[in-house]
A = this chain, B = another copy of it.
Amino acid sequence: MTKKPIPCMATETGNMLKPWRAGIDTYQEPVVYMRRECPICRSEGFTTQARVQLTAGNRSIVATLSVVDSAWLAENVAGLSESAWQALAPQAGQLVAVTHAPPLDSLSHVRAKVYGHSLGDSEYGAVISDIAAGRYSDLQIAAFITACAGDRMKLEETVSLTKAMIAVGDRIDWGRSVVVDKHCVGGLPGNRTTLIAVPIVAACGLTMPKTSSRAITSPAGTVDTMEVLAPVDLDVARMRRVVERTGGCIVWGGAVRLSPADDILIRVERPLDLDSEGQLVASVLSKKAAAGSTHVLIDVPVGATAKVRTTQAAASLAFRLRNVGSAIGLQVSLRVTDGEQPVGRGIGPALEARDVLAVLKGLPEAPADLRERSLRVAADILEMGGATLVGDGLGLANDVLSDGRAWAKFQEICAEQGGMRIPPTARFTRTIEALASGRITRVDNRLLARTAKLAGAPTAPGAGIDVHVRLGDRVDVGQALFTLHAEAPGELEYALEFVRSRPPIFQISESA
Contacts and interface: CB of A to CB of B under 8 A. Distances in A.
A273 B4 CA distance: 33
Contact of A26 (B9, B27, B66, B491): B66
B498 A103 contact: yes
B107 A273 contact: yes
Nearest to A6: B493
Given A7-B428, A139-B139, A271 B49 contact: yes
A361 B460 CA distance: 69
Contacts of A72: 22-23, 72-73
Nearest to A47: B459
A328 B491 CA distance: 45
A146 interface: yes
A492 B45 CA distance: 10
A42 B427 CA distance: 13
A82 B486 CA distance: 34
Interface in A290-323: none
A280 to B, nearest CB: 13
A480 interface: yes
Interface stretch (A108-116, A257-265, A345-353, A391-399): A108-116
Contacts of A123: none
Contacts of A107: 273
Contact of A149 (B33, B114, B138): B114
A122 interface: no
A433 B111 contact: no
Nearest to A116: B150
Contacts of A111: 273-274
B36 A487 contact: no
Interface string A253-292: 0000000000000001001111000000000000000000
A490 interface: yes
B44 A480 contact: no
A18 to B, nearest CB: 15
A151 interface: yes
Given A139-B272, A143-B146, A23 B488 contact: no
B48 A137 contact: no
A454 B99 CA distance: 13
A68 interface: yes
Interface string A421-446: 00000001011010000000000000
